[in-house]
């Protein structure tokens, strides 16, 4: 696991749980509104040692309920399942944040019961993926992940960042149409200060 960040506590990122967050390196999207731009590339010099992560979690076992695995895109990590297994073995619940581009990874995690909550970002209506993610390669995978997560029986939500300069009201309606009935869809505010695209930072 290539982890570049650790937030010791959050009361808002894992619904119903007090949790910590780890941020993995690397992402296959280049969303202009991304606020974690420092995590997009693989940079071995800024990694946090896994032993330090597990030591931290061991010390917080009586204080925290869960761990959020965010990014970057965690599903790019080849040893994600093993990491989740060790975290679960410590007694923590696991929440996965994902962009939905790796449904095979999500399916495997669900099959092994290694995640307790999944939050998937739906960045844009599928016909506008390239504008909002920098790539148009993942439409089938995103559709598959949405269906897989919705039918999984695992707690989940779908999220969309309200990037007003880039998403119209019609875009938001098209995104809502992608969300299966019965699944939660949250529209979250856009925070421009650290946006990957400099033109968005002054909004």
CB 28 within 8 A of CB 73: yes
Rounded Cα–Cα distance for residues 149 and 180 (Å):
10
CB 154 within 8 A of CB 106: no
How far are the Cα atoms of 49, 70, 111 from residue 193, in angstroms, in the given order?
A: 29, 20, 39
Rounded Cα–Cα distance for residues 145 and 155 (Å):
14
The CATH number given to whatever domain includes residue 182 is 3.20.20.70
Is pLDDT above 70 for 203? no
What's the pLDDT tens digit per position in 77-95? 999 999 999 999 999 999 9
Tell me the residue length of the chain: 203
Residues 6+ positions from 200 with CB-CB distance below 8 Å = 32, 33, 163, 165, 192
Q: Please report which confidence band the pLDDT of residue 108 belongs to, taking 50, 70 and 90 as the band edges.
A: very high
Rounded Cα–Cα distance for residues 98 and 75 (Å):
7
Into how many domains does the chain fold? 1
How far are the Cα atoms of 15, 16, 72, 117, 139 from residue 155, in angstroms, in the given order?
A: 9, 11, 21, 5, 23
What's the pLDDT tens digit per position in 16-59? 999 999 999 999 999 999 988 877 777 667 899 999 999 999 99
CB 146 within 8 A of CB 120: yes
Parent domain of 48: 3-200
Task: Give one word for 4, left, alpha or beta, with left for phi > 0 and alpha for psi -120 to 50.
Answer: alpha
What's the pLDDT tens digit per position in 174-186? 999 999 999 999 9
């Amino acid at each position: 696991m290539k982890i570049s960040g650790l937030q010791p506590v959050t009361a808002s990122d894992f619904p119903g749980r007090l949790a910590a967050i780890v941020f993995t390196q690397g992402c296959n999207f280049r969303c202009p509104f991304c606020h974690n731009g420092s995590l997009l590339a693989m940079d071995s010099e800024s990694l946090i040692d896994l032993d330090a992560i597990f030591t931290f979690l061991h010390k917080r076992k009586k204080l925290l309920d869960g761990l959020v695995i965010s990014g970057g895109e965690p599903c790019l990590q080849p040893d994600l399942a093993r990491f989740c297994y060790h975290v679960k073995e410590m007694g923590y619940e696991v929440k996965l944040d994902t962009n939905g581009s790796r449904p095979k990874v999500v399916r495997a995690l669900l099959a092994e019961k290694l995640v307790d909550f999944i939050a998937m970002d739906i960045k844009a209506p599928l016909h506008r993926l390239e504008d909002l993610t920098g790539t148009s390669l993942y439409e089938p995978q995103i559709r598959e992940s949405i269906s897989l997560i919705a039918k999984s029986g695992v707690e989940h939500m779908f999220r969309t960042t309200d990037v007003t300069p880039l998403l119209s009201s019609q875009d938001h309606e098209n995104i809502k149409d992608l969300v299966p009935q019965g699944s939660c869809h949250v529209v979250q505010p856009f925070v421009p200060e650290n946006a990957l695209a400099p033109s968005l930072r002054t909004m």
